[in-house]
Amino acid sequence: MTKIAILASYNGSGFNALYEASQKRELNIEIVLVISNNSDAVALQNASKYGIDNLAINSKTDENPDAKIEQLLHEYGCKYVFLSGYMKKVGENITKNFKVINSHPALLPNYGGAGMYGRFVHEAVMKNQEKVSGVTVHEVNENYDEGKIILQKKLILSEDESVDSLEAKIKKLEQSAIVEAFKNI
């Protein structure tokens, strides 16, 4: 069984999708560790509820958070790290020593890079009157949203689309895209 760690800053909805898929045996994975830079993250609460080891690691808890995270990933025998709404840039040692996967709420390379996350992406898509949006699941390298694309799922925007409706559709699409991407890898 492939061991996976989750890095999440808030809700970690992608974490929930992977956890559910592992419980249903859709994926042969074991989520062994959840780490957040936010001690109040819902992802940490969910990890506790699921019986998964979890920690808050940030500059207040550790002098070098990336080194601590890398150490734990090795200790837990993780092959993959999934970024489930993790709002910190992942250190180069982590991206070089582990397969780090992220989901992005747009069709990269459009609407990627620093500051392009969550609602900001959907607002930009709407402002530019795009007709299509979607989800990209990709490998993470040293640059924001530039890693190798694993999978993209598209959706056509309706004529009366709003930022809120687009965000809801993308979140739903993202759940299935993450699971499908992990099936592919």
Q: Known catalytic residues?
A: 104
Pairing relation of β-strands 80-83 and 53-56?
unpaired
Angle of CA points 30, 87, 101, to nearest 5°: 40
Nearest to 94 by CA among 136, 60, 57: 57
Cα within 13 Å of Cα(80), Cβ side? 22
**Residues 165, 99: Cα–Cα separation, whole Å:** 32
